[in-house]
Every structure is written in C-alpha cells, then in structure tokens.
Structure 1
Amino acid sequence: MPFVTGRRALPALGLAAAGIARAQQAWNPTRPVTIVVPFPPGGSTDVTARLVAERMAPLLGQNVVIDNKPGAQTVIGAEAVARAAPDGHTLLMSSGTTLTINPLIGRNLPYRPSDFAPVVHVATLPFCIAVKPGIPDTLEGFVAHVRANPGKVTWGHNGRGSFNHIAGALIQERLQLDWQDVGYRGDANQMNDLLAGTIDSILVGGATGLQVERSGRAKIIGWTGETRLPNLPNQPTFNERWPGLVAVTWFGLLAPAHTPPAAIARLNAAGAAASADATVRERLLNEGIVATSGSPADFQAFLNREAERWGPLLRRLNIEL
C-alpha cells in the first residue's frame, strides 16, 4: 500500500468529510414515520401530535402516523419508543409529564431521559381551570369558595404525578387551599364528569378546557400561563393576581437515543417547519397551545432548565409516581 504524506492526506480527508456531509443530507425515511403519543386520543398532546404530523408528512415524503399508547402515567408509550430501533422512523411526542416530572418522582422507571435524543420543542401549554354551573365563575371567587369549603370542592387531573396534578399541587401550596383531587386516565373522562356535574372543576390543557366551555355547560375561569393567550384576552391568569404562580407544560418530539444525526437533523427541520406553519400555529392557539421551535440543542437546554425548576418543588411536596 503506497505511503500517503500529510500534504496529500489533506485533500483525501476533505473528500471524506464532504462524503459524510452528503450522506447526512441524504437521509430520508424509507417507510411511514410513527409518532407515539403516550396519552389517549383527544387530549392536548394528541391534538398537537396530529396537527404536526399532518404538516410533517409532505416534508418527509412519507406518511406520519399517530400511535396512541396510554397508560402508567405515560410510561408505556415512552418505554416503547426508548426500546425502538434508533433509525428515525419512531418518535415520541412527549409532554412535560414524561420527561420532566416522571424522572423526578418515579422509582425504577423503565426509561431514563438519556434514552432519548431531542428532536424539536414543538409547543408549550398552560393549564386552565374549568368549573361546572353553580361554582363561582371568577378566579378569585373560586379560590374564596374553596377556602370557605375546605376538603369539599373537587378538581380533576390526569393522575398522581401528571403535570396538571403537579400544577394543582403548586396552586394548593401557594394559595394554601384544601381541595379534593380526583385522578383520571386522560382528559376525556374528567371532561365527561364535569359536564355531568359529578365533579366541581378540572385543571386541564386548553384543548379540553375550551371544548367543555364551548359546550355551554362549563366555564374556564383562569389559566396557569405567564401571560394571557392572545386569542383569549378576557381570560385571566393566576400570575396576574398571585405573581410567580405559573405552571406550563410542554410538548416535543424525541427519538430513541443513538438515532443518526442525519435523521435527527431532517426530522428537526420537518418538525420545526410544521410548528412554524401559520395554519398549524393558529389551530394550536385555538386549542390553548402556543407553538415553539428551535434546534435539538435548544430543546436539550430547555429540558435541563425544566428539571432544575421543578425538582425542588417535587422534593418539598414529596410527590411520588
């Protein structure tokens, strides 16, 4: 084999690097891409996933299908993706419950945050409180009602350790409320109970809250975001009355760890374009969801900040999954 001098090796290395770059740019899905949603159909995570998938499909040149795998506080769906082949064809539409809350409160989880590769931060979601008729329908009136009836006012959430349960625990601690929480498997069941009048209030994502309000049989009285939603300027936030009382979850796409960087880059481009699409952003906002975007590195930095933010509260409240 002929000896290659350093002077001659430089062009060879340049050609190799160019070849690698072309290979990375050339990654394309060879079959439909599956987005696993670890919640039942109909909730905010599912709504977000379906809107994004619809827009991503033509950008990827493949169908993007939704696979709902609810259960065990999103553990079932997350574990399925963590164990999937890292080839870019299986993604997780995670919420804050899955990769912010569960790792902080769960024991013996079958997955770790390091089992996933961030793809794109898709959206953020403030929660809303909706109440049945007969319950005070202003934020301050509701808080006063809970205080006047300790242990009697019920509120629904998606199960112990879910992000909206944690948000409710934050509200309870900050406002020193004694209210009775009731866990459900997904938004639909608690929505039905609120409309039937068997529960007083629910703390849910905007898709569910707006749905029950549009029915005319319940009313949203406030949101947990930092500011009011631009399309709902008359609906207040807790933060306006009690500064710093903010609880916002998030949605984002992640792939199994060790998915090739070329696949991550292509999926990020498609996901970011989907969340930036004007129609998608408008439809999400109509569901109380605020579209975001960014690089995989941006998403990882966000995940790190969320863990640092919620860890002290969860340790203080001693909440376990």
Structure 2
Amino acid sequence: MLLNAFPRTGLNAVQLNFVTKKEDYMNEARKRLFMSPRRSLILLNTFLRTGLDAVQFNFVTKTEDQMSEARKELFMRVRRILSLALVVSPGLLAAWSQPAASQTKYPARPIDIIVPFAPGAATDATARVTANYLEKKWGTRINVINKPGGNSVPANLEVYNAAPDGYTLMLDSQSSASMLPAAMRELPFKVLDRTFVAIVTASPFIMIVSANSPIKALKEVVEEAKNDPAAFTWGSLGGAGMQDFGTRQFLKAIGVDVTRTKPVIAPGGAPLVTMTAGGLLKVGASTAQGILPAYRSKIVKPLAQTGKTRHPDFPDTPTFEEAGYPSVTCYFWAGISAPPKLPRQIVDAWNKALKEAFADPEFVTRVKKTGGVPFYKDDRETRAYVEAEMKEVSALWGLK
C-alpha cells in the first residue's frame, strides 16, 4: 500500500539499508532518510520529473521490533512528504518546464512602437524622443512605425494581437484610448484590456481664434456661445480628439448645451488650426505643439489654456482656471501601452527606464522642444487617469 501511494514515476531502485542495533539504526535513519522537508520535496519532485518506474525500500534489520518501528516512522514521514509534494510539485514542474520571465534579459531584440498617427504629429515626436533615449540606454534598436487612419483602430488591433512579450507597444493617447468609445460605438476590443505602461508627456488644450477675429478675450467667446448657440461654430475631430473633449468641457462650464452648437469636423489637428486661421470657425483648439507654428506666424490668437500654470511658449495666455473655469482641465497626453497581460517584469523595466529618463536634463529638454511638458505617470497611475477620463467622456457625450 505504501508503494502504491507513490505515483508511477519510473524509479529503478532506491535502497535504504539500515544494519544497526535498534538505537543506532534509528539515529542513522533520521540522518540519512528523514532529512528536512525541503530536501525531501526536492527528491520527490526529482522522481516526478525523471519518470522513474518503481520505488523500493529494503529494510534489513536484525529483529522484528526494529523492522516494525522503522516501518511506522518511515510511513508517517513519507505520508507527510507526499501530501506536500502533491501540492507543491505541479508548480515546481511548471517552473522547470519553461524558463521564468525574470530570468530572461529584456530587451533582447529590437522593439517596435506603433504610432496611430502620421509622421510629424505630437505623438510621433514623443515616440521618437523616447525611442532615441531608450535605444542608447538599452543598446537595442527601437523602431517607430506609423500606422495612421481608422480612428487608431488598425494600430490598436496590431498591438492587441501581438504577443505580450514587450517587443510590440503603442504610443497611446486620449484619441486611441479614453476617447475612442465616443468616436466609435462598436469596437473590436475593450479599451481597458490593454496594458497601460506609462504616460510620458502632455500638452495643454489651447483655445484659439483667427488673428482677424473681432474676439479678443475668452469672455467674448462665452457671450457668443450663449447668445447664439446655433451659430457658434467650433473645430471638431469627429469625437476622437482632445479638441472635442476640451470644447465640450468648456461649453458645459458656461452652461451651453453642446447639441445646440455647430461643430465642424476637420480631417486632422493641423487642418483644424488652418481652418480657424482662415476664419471658417468661430473658435478652434489644439495642443501647444499644434498651435505654435501658426502662433509664431501671427495668424491665430490663443485665448485660454488648460493647466495650473501657463505653458512656457504661451506665457501671456491665461489658464481657464484664471479665467474662472477650473473645470476645463483637458490635457493631451502621450504614453506607452502594450498588449493585454504584459508581464510585470517588462512593465517595471519600462517604468524604471522612464523614471531615469525624466531625471536626465537632456531628455527633459528634448521633450520640451516637442512642445510637450513632462507628465510622467507609472502604469497604475496611468490606468487610473484613463479610467477617470473615460467616465468624464461618457458623461460629456451621454454614452451608456
């Protein structure tokens, strides 16, 4: 019965020969057989791995009493060890069958960062600055691959369908994450299933008018929107841009029903700024990066910006909070996301590297040159930030 308690493991022979007097016999047995549970478990799991066929215990003793006592104690010990082995051995076998992720060096080969926007966009600039820094740090090539179009769904799908091994990631943002359900009600994936790794940079929402517009201050925009909502035209990206998010926040703050206003859809952030400069829109909006060229060319006027402090490139433009609208808080952010179930070890590797990047003055300077501001959040903070944004987007768009 004792032998049947062991699984058929394929042990050819294990012989424990005790040839001693009763007292000496038990002492020697305890030393040689009744080892620590840890060593015993290792022995038993070795049996399980190697597929030995039988277990034989031969006890050669001088008296019947010695045999009886040895059997009792052996049985008790082995029963305890087997009970533990049945619980522990599956986990040990799994660990033996494949190398642990923590033992694999990362990165060990080139990494692809998928960007859902065209080259030259703010997200593209952030991806390239980040990739350049990490290439030098890790000594591994990082490819920035632009995959624009389709409201970022094709880029998202490429990442969702990739192996969660840390070699295919995405330069994420509101447009490809928290705002996507507002732009597309039927998505082939769940936004929150992805692995949020970090937020890297952000840029304020800045409301603008044409340089030729009679509007000179934000209070005049408020008057225009309240007096004639139906004639209040504003730039939209079809629901998936921070332009939509920030403008809806603003209209809610001033008590104007967005459904009574007239959004005009532009094919992208840059065309929206051009349309505003040409007087086709009452107001427009974009990021600091998106507005800066037109601002320096003096074809648009910035009226207000989000944030607690003023962006260094727009020191004369008041914040919405300064203007009396603290609930207008939309920020365009850019960060790193990955396929669902990315291993903790890889998430930690990215966050460690990004923390060190933001302690590097050269990296921070390069981020600022893109028009963004450092806005680092780790994976847990990023997920919480996106979840909060999704709730606000649902409320502003009336989603259920």
Q: What TM bracket, shorter-length normalisation?
A: 0.7 to 0.9
Q: Quick check: 1:227–1:239 contact (8 Å CA) kept in 2?
A: no
Distance in 1 (CA, whole Å) between partners of 2:314 and 2:361 is: 18
Equivalent of residue 328 in structure 2, options 234, 238, 245: 245
Output the CA distance in 2 between the equivalents of 1:82 and 1:101: 17
CA shift, 1:117, in A, is: 1.3
**Pairs within 5 Å for 1:63-102:** 63-102=141-180
Alignment of 1:23 onto 2:106: no
Q: 1:156 to 1:104 in 2, by over 3 A?
A: closer
**2:242, 2:286 within 8 Å by CA — same for their partners in 1?**
no
TM-score, structure 1 as length reference: 0.83
**1:28-47 equivalences in 2 (<5 Å):** 28-31=107-110, 33-47=111-125
Shift of 1:83: 1.3
Q: How many residues align?
A: 313
- How far the C-alpha of 1:277 sits from its partner, in A, is 3.4
* Greater CA drift, 50-59 or 4-13: 4-13
State the 1:147 CA deviation.
4.0
1:60 alignment partner, one of 127, 135, 138: 138
RMSD between superposed Cα atoms in Å:
3.2
After TM superposition, the score normalised by the length of structure 2 is: 0.68
Amino acid at match of 2:108: P
Q: Distance in 2 between matches of 1:141 and 1:252?
A: 35
CA distance in structure 2 between the partners assigned to 1:254 and 1:275 by the alignment:
18
Structure with max Cα Rg: 2
Q: Which letter does structure 1 place at the counterpart of 2:220?
A: G
**Amino acid paired to 2:154:** I
The separation in 1 between residues aligned to 2:210 and 2:114, in whole angstroms, is 33
How far the C-alpha of 1:104 sits from its partner, in A, is: 6.1
Amino acid of the residue matched to residue 275 of structure 2? D
Equivalent position of 2:306 in the other structure: 224
Asked if residue 260 in structure 1 is aligned to residue 368 in structure 2, the reply is no
Aligned-residue identity in percent: 27
- Do 1:126 and 1:288's aligned partners in 2 also have CA atoms closer than 8 Å? no
Q: Conserved in 2, the CA contact under 8 Å of 1:122 and 1:275?
A: no
Deviation at residue 115 of structure 1 after TM alignment: 3.6
Q: Does the 8 A contact of 2:204 with 2:311 survive in 1?
A: no
Q: Does 1:8 align with 2:39?
A: yes
Question: Is the 1:157–1:204 Cα contact (8 Å) retained in structure 2?
Answer: no
Displacement after TM superposition at 1:273 (Å): 3.2
2:200 to 95, 101, 122: 122
- Identify which range, 146-155 or 214-223, moves more after superposition: 146-155
How many angstroms does 1:222 deviate by?
1.0
* Cα distance change on mapping 1:179 and 1:36 into 2, 3 Å: same
Alignment of 1:173-188 (within 5 A): 173-177=252-256, 179-188=261-270
Aligned residue among 120, 127, 132 for 2:210? 132
1:123-162 alignment runs, 5 A limit = 123-135=201-213, 136-162=215-241
Residue in structure 1 matched with residue 389 of structure 2 by the alignment: 306
**8 Å Cα contact 1:191/1:202 also seen in 2:** yes
Aligned pair in 2 of structure 1 residues 259, 245: CA closer, same or farther (>3 Å)? closer
SS in structure 2 at match of 1:171: helix
Given the alignment of the two structures, is residue 170 of structure 1 paired with residue 249 of structure 2, yes or no?
Answer: yes
Residue 92 of structure 1, CA deviation = 0.8
* Residues 137 and 286 of structure 1, relative CA distance in 2, 3 Å threshold: farther
**Structure 2: stretches of 5+ with no match in the other structure:** 1-10, 15-32, 44-87
Q: Secondary structure at the match of 1:250?
A: strand
| 283, 296, 300: which one aligns with 1:214 | 296
- Quick one: distance in 2 between partners of 1:129 and 1:170? 12
Query: Secondary structure at 2:235's aligned position in 1?
Result: strand
| C-alpha distance in 1 between matches for 2:242 and 2:234 | 14
Question: How many Å apart are 1:166 and its aligned residue?
Answer: 2.3
Q: For the residues of structure 1 that align with 2:316 and 2:268, how far apart are their CA atoms? A: 27
Unaligned runs of 5+ in 1: none
Instruction: Return the alpha-carbon distance in structure 2 between the equivalents of residues 224 and 120 of structure 1.
Output: 21
Aligned equivalent of 1:205:
287
Matched, 1:289 2:372: yes
The SS at the match of 1:35 is strand
